[in-house]
Every structure is written in structure tokens, then in C-alpha cells.
Amino acid sequence: MPQKGLFYEITNKQKESKTVDIMVYGTIPSLDTDTWRMTNTADRFVRDFKALEKDYDRINIHINSPGGSVYHGFPIFNTIAASKKDIHTYNDGLAASMAGVLLLAGKTVHTAKNALLMIHCTNGLAIGHAQDFRDMADMMDKYNGIIAQHFADKSGKSLEDIQSKYMNYKDHWLTAQEAEEEGFVDQIEDYESEDAPPEDITDMAFSQVMAHYTGENPEKKAADERGLFQRLTAYMEKTFKLKADPPAPQDPPSPPSNQTETEEDMDFKNSLALLAKDQVSAEDIAAIRAEIEAFTGANEKFTPDEVQARVDEAVQPVQDQVDSLTQEKTDLETEVTNLKTEKGNLTTSVTDLTEENKTLKLDIQAYRNSGVKVDNSGGDNPDPIEGDEKESYLYSETDAEIKALRAKAGIKAKAE
């Protein structure tokens, strides 16, 4: 069964064949039966479904649901219908209201032999003035048109045909055979639902159908009440760091006296023993209340500031850890940014040097191709050229003339 708070369960993962099953066995999305409010888990379904698409080629969606909210149901429908994978939907017992629309999202639609499909118009609630109700009616009409279009697309029937036949403010219950004949189902499988709808479900109001599939029955209510005492026992053990003794075989103890016990004397063993009983009477509850009052004082209550202080005390270590991790994340992001900047600067430098080197190579090649010879001309301080150096001792024109005469006479200079 789905985990608490979810209307679906992912199961039967087959890595070799790349197949997986999703069991939609509940209201869409989950319904809090204490407040009759729907818990938004549609976004969780969408994330989980997209994750499955990465690893599995065939996804089987098994439905046994009275329906739920169109606001939550259509994002789920659109995600399934848009999938490129091989999606098969199965009516395992009941596909009613939004669940019936969800059944159509599969590329191939299957049904158990004894399953029922229920189609009807959108239901809604409104609180406010007359215009609020008109706006709500307009919105429901739009959804009715969308629902009718999906059934028309699946069956090949005209939109007008579907609207006149099924969007007439009545509940329409179709057997597997009828659903197949209408074109809403592709094939009837050779199995029967283990959790078939009640035989009188077609006579139930939709609220009764929802109550049946959310488990609102006397047996469940009694079990929940027993669970309340178990939760209270666990809470007291945790809060006061106590451990309940096994129930005593004798009759329940009488309420303790407020006059003789102090905070140090209180161990709550009497109350814990009473709470461990299968059936707790009014006298037992009175005894528990008396023992608690003896500990806290009959009129003592926790103020909002005291409650908030306890909450802050419990939350602070977690908040400190979150703050530390947030700061660490910020520091790491800053370091990454700096490294990216440094890498960008280095890349720019390498690019500049590469371009400069390329330019120098072109200049050298052009110089070589020009055929120009190096000489001793060009500037006040030309580079020396081999064979044409000036002697350091030639300080005047006379010296130069004497050197020339010596050379003409065949007299070698001392330096030669």
C-alpha cells in the first residue's frame, strides 16, 4: 500500500526488462480525513514519474481510486500522457471521476473483468457572494469540456456525443464490457479485482464512495481511537523519559492524591498502565487526568511564549546546522566563481600570447621574403656588422687618412 501521505506506491521494479509498476490506490491526491482537505502530492508524483522514465521503458499504472481533485489530477494526467515511454494503465477495480480520466492517459488502457468506470461532471464548492458562485460554475464548465474532450479523443466519438451522453450532471457507471464497447478501454484482462467495488456502489452518493475508499468506517474509527491512546502513551514516555510497566493484573488503581505527591515523586506508572489497557473507561481517564494535574497543577497551562520557547529550543540546533551548511555552500560557490574567473583570465592571457606569437612569426616570414640584407646604416647607434667595425682609436679624419695611406703602401696596422 502507498506510504502515509501519498496516494500512490512505486513497486515491482524490473531492471532487466526495464518495467515498473505504479499503484494508484487512493484519492488523487491524498485526502486528510480529519480535515477533509487534500494534501498536495501531485508534484511529488510528477518528480517520481520523470525519474522512472530515465530507467524504465514500460511503466504500468494500476488504478483503484474514487478520484479526487482536477487541480491535482490534470498535472498528473498531462505528465503521463506526454511520456515517450510505453505507458499502460489498468483499472484494477474502480476508476471513478478524476481517476477515470487518469485511466485514459495510458497509451494502452486495460481493465479487470469486474472493474467499474464512473464518469460524471466536475463537482466543486464555493463560499462567498453570488458572483463567486457564478465564477465557480464557469470554471467547472471549462473542466467539463476538457474531460469530455479526453473521452472523445480516446473513443473516437464526437465531443457533442460525449457531452450529451455523459456530461449531464449524473453519475454514469460502466462495466468493463461497456467501457470497451464505448472505446474507453482497449482490452479486458483475464483477472478480477481483489478489491472489487461494493455491489451497491451505483446507489451510493459520491461522498459515500469517497468515504468507503478512504476507510471511514466504524471499525477503522475505533482502531484510530485505540491508536490515539497508544500515541499518548508514547508521547508521555518520550516527554518524561519514562517506561511503562506491564499492566497490573489487579483492578486499576484509584486516582492519586494531589496533596501527598510532589514533582519528584511522580513517575506516571499508574497512567501508563491504564493507557496500556485495550479498553480505557471514563474512570481510567479521570485517574490519568488527576495524576497529570498533580504534576502540573490543576490550573497550570503552558503560555504561548513557553510553547514557543520550547519549539525554538528544539529547532535551534537544526537551524544552526542549516545556517552552517548554507554558509559553507556560499563559500564554496564563491570559491568556484573565483576559480572560474581565474581560469577565464588565464585563458585570455594564453589567447593573447598565442596571437602575439602568431604576429611575430608573420613579421619574421615577411622580413625573410623581402630579401633585405643587414648593413651598418640606420640610426645613431646601429648594430655592429662583422668586417665593418670602427676602431676605437680612430678619433679624427687625419687618423683615418693615415690608415688609408698605410693600407695603400702595404703597411699593416698593428691591430691586423
Q: Is residue 29 reached through a cis peptide bond, with omega within 30 degrees of 0 on the bond before it?
A: yes
Annotated catalytic residue within 65, 97, 193, 271: 97
Instruction: Determine which one of 62, 88, 110, 120 is catalytic.
Output: 120
| Alpha carbon distance 19, 58 (integer Å) | 5
3-state secondary structure of 108: strand
How far apart (Å, rounded) are the C-alpha atoms in residues 115 and 94? 6
Please give the grid coordinates belonging to residue 220: 477503522
Cβ atoms of 60 and 22 within 8 Å: the answer is yes
Q: Is 120 among the catalytic positions?
A: yes
- d(Cα 367, Cα 330) in Å, to the nearest integer? 55
Q: How many residues does the chain have?
A: 416
Please tell me the distance from the alpha carbon of residue 269 to that of residue 246, in angstroms, as a whole number.
Answer: 9
Q: Supply 228's cell numbers.
A: 490515539
- Cβ proximity of 142 and 122 under 8 Å: no
Burial 27-57 (b: 16+ CB within 10 A, else e): bbbbbebeeeebbebbebbeeebeebbeebe
d(CA 374, CA 382): 11
Query: Would residue 281 show up in a list of annotated catalytic residues for this protein?
Result: no
Give bridge partners of residue 60 from the DSSP assignment: 21, 88
* Residues known to be catalytic: 97, 120
